[in-house]
Structure 1
Amino acid sequence: MQHIGIIGVGEIGKALVEGLRLDGSASPEIFLSPRGAHVAAELSERFEGVHVCADNQEVVDRADLVIIAVRRQDHHDALDGLTVADDKTVLSLMAGVAIDALRRTLDTNAPIVRAIPLPAVRERRSVTVTAPPHPAVDALFDQLGGSLPVADEDAFNVFSALTGTLTAHYAYLATLTSWAANHGITTDVAERYVRGLFQNVGRALNDESRSLDQLAADHETPKGNNERIRTTWFDPANAAALTQALDGLLADLK
């Protein structure tokens, strides 16, 4: 893709531009919508070959690959009246908007692909799920940390639900920090320790020779502290509640 257009320059749109420019290259050319004007203007000033368009139709007209990165609730307003030629490729980053629904909104026969990029694409460290597989889209995300193409939207929605657990993980770490602070540890010291503790967990995840269950077992001793917390806090009822929450989110995504 020599020309990429992005409609909706929020956190993910910005991360995509930064990831594509990480090596200092001015290719591909990137065309940004005026939506998110401050961020779009800042990116245009920072990077060669990044342009801010007058409106969303200009983004579509100048791009081979049109990335739609607006919020689900805003997409009708952002896309209303756009003409998308059939020789374009449309990449939707919107959670909960099915391909058929987006095709009706755009009234186009252009290929439409969905993806779930995360902010780490700016550092080319995010594996991005795509559906259905598409050579140009998958090549784009291979450049930004890796693509994980899946066959259909049913599988895609499962991964989308998994992505919805991210901030719960941060909240879990914040709860650990607050617990330590309530027991006399200063908040900054507690947070420093919790961050270091779970950064080491992240590094252990790089060892793909061990399953997640094996990693858990390798970090426990029988009747030790880790086993105690896992079996008393993350008990079957807690695991069932998490499963129920994910099932509810998956139903909404469908």
Structure 2
Amino acid sequence: MIIAVRRQDRHEALAGLRVDGDKTVVNVMAGVANDDLRGTLATDAPLVRAIPLPAVRARRSVTVTFPSHPAANVLFEYLGGVLHVADEAAFDVFSALTGTLTAHCTYLATLTSWASGHGIAADDAERYVRGLFQEVGRALSDEARSLHQLAADHETPNGNNERIRTSWSDTANSEALEKALDDLLADLK
């Protein structure tokens, strides 16, 4: 059984639901610990937290789980792989990382809007930005290279990429991102 409702709706949505102890419950609600869900469901059934991302549709995304459970492992291996974590604190860190997905897409949309503001047709700008970052996305599958190495491989010393990286990815922006992640992590606990 998969429980997938918004955290704020869980009490109303799950009221009266009882789960037999021989079932396995996969909890995909962000910020809802297994102990909390166990109390809501009043069950002794095995509970597994999971973070299935949209790419599971194409079987291309690893799913973070806690704790490891054979039934959940089979399901998520089929959908792109499983990454088991040791405890719910580690699980919450991975959950916070998922909060960066739309920021990435918004970054790409900002690039497109910037180009449009400089006279490039919006369709052309978006086509170019998509093509530019699709290749970088494919390069992410090369796990032999760290993310730092991947960045270095795409950067010419004293070139355009280095200029934007060092101007935009400064200490203040890095600290702002880390604070946003810390704040989200605190809310997920």
TM-score in terms of structure 1 length: 0.73
Partner of 2:151: 216
Partner of 2:173: 238
State the distance in 2 between where 1:201 and 1:250 align: 28
State the distance in 2 between where 1:86 and 1:211 align: 43
State the distance in 2 between where 1:70 and 1:142 align: 23
1:223 shift after superposition = 1.0
State the distance in 1 between where 2:154 and 2:18 align: 55
Of 72, 83, 95 in structure 1, the residue corresponding to residue 30 of structure 2 is 95
Q: Secondary structure at the match of 1:130?
A: strand
Moved over 3 A (4+): none
Partner of 1:132: 67
State the distance in 1 between where 2:41 and 2:162 align: 53
1:141 shift after superposition = 0.3
* 1:126 partner letter: S
1:122 shift after superposition = 1.6
1:156 shift after superposition = 0.4
* 2:146 partner letter: S
Partner of 1:145: 80
1:83 shift after superposition = 1.8
State the distance in 1 between where 2:149 and 2:119 align: 34
* 1:81 partner letter: G
Partner of 1:39: none
- Matched length: 189
Q: Secondary structure at the match of 1:113?
A: strand
Q: Secondary structure at the match of 2:166?
A: helix
State the distance in 1 between where 2:102 and 2:31 align: 18
State the distance in 2 between where 1:125 and 1:223 align: 35
Partner of 2:100: 165
CA RMSD in angstroms, aligned pairs only: 0.8
Of 153, 163, 169 in structure 2, the residue corresponding to residue 228 of structure 1 is 163
More helix, by proportion = 2
Of 137, 141, 149 in structure 2, the residue corresponding to residue 202 of structure 1 is 137
